[in-house]
Structure 1
Amino acid sequence: MPDTDVRDRDRQVHGLDALELQPQRGANEVGPGDRARALWSATWPKLVAVVLVLAAWQAVVWSGWRTEFVFPGPDKVLPTLFAEVTTPEFWVAVQVTMRRALTGFALALAVGVVIGLAVSQFKPLRAAIGSLITGLQTMPSIVWFPFAMLLYGISESAIMFVIVLGAAPSIAGGLVSGIDYVPPTLLRAGQVMGLRGAQRYTLLVIPAALPMFVTGLKQGWAFAWRSLMAGELLVIINQQNSIGWALSQARQLNDADRLLSYIIIVLVVGIVIDVFFNWADRALRRRWGITA
């Protein structure tokens, strides 16, 4: 009997070892089917929203609220849109606009980070300009364009100036809020671990403030994009092709089809950038263990 018990135990142990060696799918592992379902669940509400908007748009046109010359329906605007995106001039305009947007946003990011770090660390500076940052956020960016054109003339610099003034306060405010909400226990733990000076910020403070900082970046991009569109409509630089210039040309020619098609393009670019920021926000939340 004792030998039989020993053999049974050996068989059980070998069976457990075999089970451990078998590749098993973890609880958090995502398969191709799961990814497809997640993609579809995220896509179909947007498709339904697009269909509903197009149906409502066409219904307003059929109601006779305005003549189709002034307010054309999607049956006329969408073919014009598809025709525009197949022309080389369209992609040149997109390239010019996105170059301005990214350059202006990068400048605003640099300025906002410097101001945010300074305000978060020096209480007298926060008391002096904290309210000013909030006030700058609430100012319409178009207010700055007459002053920008007086300073820089009709040039790229005038547009960059307004983009920075529009986006930097939101970026600085997001960074300040993120640093303010870093848990004190985390700061004490960093102090015990010997984090000092620049290491304290690069390894502890800024990573901990990233989730709220991303929200500030998203808001800063929204201000930068609106400032750029206003600038391209107002500051026409030697008739340089851009999305704003195309909008202005369509308005002057009373081309409602082309005008609405470029409005849709501006909307699509905004949605694409918003999707990117949402993806970054979800990735940070997963890394911080906030969401599954």
Structure 2
Amino acid sequence: MASTDTPPQATPEGDLAGLGAGLDALDTAPPDHTPLRQVLLHKVLPPVAAVALVLATWKLLVLAGVADDYKLPDPTAVWRSLRELWLQGTLFDIIWTSLSRGLLGFLAALALGTPLGLLIARLPLLRAALGPLLSGLQSLPSVAWVPAAVIWLGITDTAMYAVILLGAVPSIANGLVSGIDQVPPLYLRAGHTMGATGLRATRHVLLPAALPTYIAGLKQGWAFSWRSLMAAELIASSPELGLGLGQYLDNARTDSDMPAVLAGIILILLVGIAIDLIVFSPLERRVLRARGLLAGAN
């Protein structure tokens, strides 16, 4: 006897659900591991070649005698300055004195700039009042705040942190405002339909959608923090503050020790690059990967 059961009929809703599940599976598929040879060729070799080119050009300029030795020292003289700091056991102390200040100041700027950006983005009256001021502060050189901070707070760590905050908070807040402005209104309507209103909409809709631009603002905020700190340490140097990179650079200038000056500049540059590679680049790649944009992060 033939069975009377009939297979379930496909519906448009079921087809769309299956299509959506398939697209989600494609988006979340684990990326293939990049071969070591490709990593070395595309990631390691270009910066190594660039550094080698800079050093070779530097050495050629020294050999050509384009400037006096006290103005353009040999690269080996700069290396000796760095090696001397290492042998004295002060290299990491100098770096950590500045790095700890920079990181603490940046975290404070993050804690202040994030809620400020949210308020400005969501409250039109506050945006009209503070938006132009934040843009102006972002374009103001951080070094301009150093004399005022020293007069107000003295040559202290507090003055250093004040300069960092004044330099970094506008960048972080403006980055978040810009990210929220780029969130499509459809996202908020969809979140409202699913019950995400008020703070829940901010947490579950606005912040995740604005994350890529917000991270760009964080990177810029860190750059402003680091630059602000170096300017403050250069101008407001004091033995009570400890020997940081800025003060080391100023001491070398006072002694007309050009190899030490260049060594200080190189250390400041290396710290900035290291923070970007260790903190911000992995964070940016993770966000891009979650949005199916990993190819743009490679």
Match of 1:126 in 2: 127
2:291 alignment partner AA: W
Cα–Cα, structure 1 residues 254 and 165, in superposed 2: closer, same or farther, change >3 Å? same
Deviations 1:9-52 (A, max 9, x none): xxxxxxxxxxxxxxxxx974534x62563254211100010011
Question: How far, CA to CA, are the matches of 2:138 and 2:212 in structure 1?
Answer: 20
Question: How far, CA to CA, are the matches of 1:175 and 1:29 in structure 2?
Answer: 29
Question: How far, CA to CA, are the matches of 2:105 and 2:36 in structure 1?
Answer: 35
Question: How far, CA to CA, are the matches of 1:246 and 1:137 in structure 2?
Answer: 27
Deviations 1:115-159 (A, max 9, x none): 101100110111111111111011111111111111101111111
Does the CA contact (< 8 Å) of 1:190 and 1:204 recur in 2? Answer: yes
Residues 89-238 of structure 1 aligned to structure 2 (within 5 Å) = 89-238=90-239
Match of 1:282 in 2: 285
The reply to whether residue 70 of structure 1 matches residue 71 of structure 2 is yes
State the number of aligned residues: 266
2:274 alignment partner AA: V
Question: How far, CA to CA, are the matches of 2:230 and 2:281 in structure 1?
Answer: 22
Does the CA contact (< 8 Å) of 1:120 and 1:126 recur in 2? Answer: yes
Does the CA contact (< 8 Å) of 1:77 and 1:260 recur in 2? Answer: yes
Deviations 1:39-88 (A, max 9, x none): 54211100010011111111222232221122102122123223323432
The reply to whether residue 249 of structure 1 matches residue 251 of structure 2 is yes
TM-score by length of 2: 0.84
Question: How far, CA to CA, are the matches of 1:34 and 1:27 in structure 2?
Answer: 18
Residues 34-53 of structure 1 aligned to structure 2 (within 5 Å) = 34-35=35-36, 37-53=38-54
Q: Tell me how large the CA RMSD over aligned residues is.
A: 1.8
**Higher mean displacement: 260-269 or 88-97:** 88-97
Query: Helix, strand or coil for the counterpart of 1:66?
Result: coil
2:272 alignment partner AA: G
Deviations 1:224-251 (A, max 9, x none): 1110001111112335111111111111
Query: Helix, strand or coil for the counterpart of 1:132?
Result: helix
TM-score by length of 1: 0.86
- Larger-gyration structure (1/2): 1
Question: How far, CA to CA, are the matches of 2:138 and 2:214 in structure 1?
Answer: 16
**Higher mean displacement: 161-170 or 242-251:** 242-251
Query: Helix, strand or coil for the counterpart of 1:109?
Result: helix
Between the aligned residues of both structures, percent identity stands at 41
1:47 alignment partner AA: V
Cα–Cα, structure 1 residues 155 and 130, in superposed 2: closer, same or farther, change >3 Å? same
Question: How far, CA to CA, are the matches of 2:99 and 2:79 in structure 1?
Answer: 23
Question: How far, CA to CA, are the matches of 1:150 and 1:87 in structure 2?
Answer: 35
Question: How far, CA to CA, are the matches of 2:95 and 2:118 in structure 1?
Answer: 34
Does the CA contact (< 8 Å) of 1:89 and 1:241 recur in 2? Answer: no
2:273 alignment partner AA: I
Which runs of 5 or more structure 2 residues have no equivalent in the other structure? 1-27
